[in-house]
């Protein structure tokens, strides 16, 4: 299937990227320049900014409550942005849709970004936020049943790494991992996966851009050979939580996500891989208003409810 026409039209209208080195501060400002005002966002029962006091320090989180209840299943969400972009604001609409569709209380994590915060600061924040969310001191009224981690792109990297780290630490409360077009192999050799060649240009995220976009993270001390940086490098995937891996047909990262799902299943982990035709990288953040892609939230709900 060709790229969805509404996505293709949007990409065709984008201006050429500025020449020269990437400026993270300017790019973050541009990301947040055109966000809708709060009153135009999807309404929920409650949305509250909280400071999570964790072993990694104080971590800003935003808590989305879809309806009033005595206890809640929790979904802890990590935004994407190549480890140096993205925020609670840029992905607010994703967290709201996840809360509405799944019925879970969603905790979106404002983790520290590269290059200002060296590896593993962002990962530490994400892991600490999950452990905080499950604790009595968080005030989140966790029901003790569902504790999911989820993320898109680099947030999917963190979700996979958090699930693995929790397993190794004996923290067995994470029940699901949800990876939206995750970046699971930060070795960007184009010969490693066919999708790096097939989807190299013309679909938004381009293969040639992977190294410079991830350089802020890798130059901060993240080693692509480390399974906490490249989760697909982990040799033993057994015992990890059930996984939903969502991929996009026209994404350079498609094949590493699908291979990870295959390896999880081979290790005895219940893993569902769902490829969205006509989509490119970033569709959950940028194009979930298109009905064909908004169903990713319903698919997430169905995965979480599967027994």
Q: What is the DSSP string of 119-162?
A: TTHHHHHHHHHHHHHTSGGG-S-EEEEEEEEEEETHHHHHHHHH
Residues 6+ away with beta carbon under 8 Å from 306: 242
Residue of 92, 185, 251, 255 with catalytic role: 251
Q: Is residue 251 among the annotated active site residues?
A: yes
Q: Is residue 31 among the annotated active site residues?
A: no
As a whole number of angstroms, the distance between CA 161 and CA 236 comes to: 13
Residue of 87, 153, 195, 220 with catalytic role: 153
Tokens of 275: 């490829």
Residue of 4, 79, 91, 281 with catalytic role: 281
Residues 6+ away with beta carbon under 8 Å from 285: 80, 90, 91, 94, 152, 153
**Which region holds residue 122: left if phi is over 0, alpha if psi is between -120 and 50, else beta?**
alpha
Specify whether the CB–CB gap between 248 and 254 falls below 8 A: yes
Instruction: Count CB-CB contacts under 10 A for residue 198.
Output: 15
Q: Is residue 281 among the annotated active site residues?
A: yes
Query: So which residues are the catalytic ones?
Result: 153, 251, 281
């Amino acid at each position: 299937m060709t790229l969805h026409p509404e996505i293709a039209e949007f990409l065709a209208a984008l201006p050429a990227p500025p020449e020269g080195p990437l400026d993270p501060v300017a790019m973050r400002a541009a990301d947040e320049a055109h966000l809708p005002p709060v009153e135009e966002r999807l309404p929920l029962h409650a949305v509250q900014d909280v400071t999570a006091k964790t072993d990694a320090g104080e971590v800003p989180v935003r808590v989305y409550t879809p309806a009033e209840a005595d206890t809640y299943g929790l979904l802890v969400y990590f935004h994407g942005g190549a480890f140096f972009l993205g925020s609670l604001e840029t992905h607010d609409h994703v967290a709201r849709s996840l809360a509405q569709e799944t019925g879970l209380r969603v905790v979106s994590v404002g983790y520290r970004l590269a290059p200002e915060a060296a590896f593993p600061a962002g990962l530490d924040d994400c892991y600490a936020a999950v452990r905080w969310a499950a604790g009595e001191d968080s005030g989140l009224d966790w029901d003790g049943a569902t504790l999911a981690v989820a993320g898109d792109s680099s947030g999917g990297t963190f979700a996979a790494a958090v699930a693995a780290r929790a397993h190794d630490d004996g923290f067995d409360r994470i029940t699901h991992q949800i990876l939206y077009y995750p970046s699971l192999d930060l070795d960007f050799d184009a010969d490693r996966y066919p999708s790096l060649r097939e989807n190299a240009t013309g679909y938004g995220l381009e293969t040639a851009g992977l190294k410079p976009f991830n350089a802020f993270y890798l130059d901060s001390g993240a080693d692509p050979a480390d399974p906490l940086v490249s989760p697909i490098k982990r040799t033993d995937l057994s015992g990890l939580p059930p996984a939903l891996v969502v991929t996009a047909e026209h994404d350079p990262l498609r094949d590493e996500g699908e291979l990870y799902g295959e390896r999880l299943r081979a290790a005895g982990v219940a893993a569902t891989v769902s490829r969205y035709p006509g989509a490119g990288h970033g569709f959950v953040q940028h194009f979930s208003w298109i009905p064909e892609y908004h169903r990713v939230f319903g698919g997430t709900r169905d995965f979480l409810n599967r027994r």
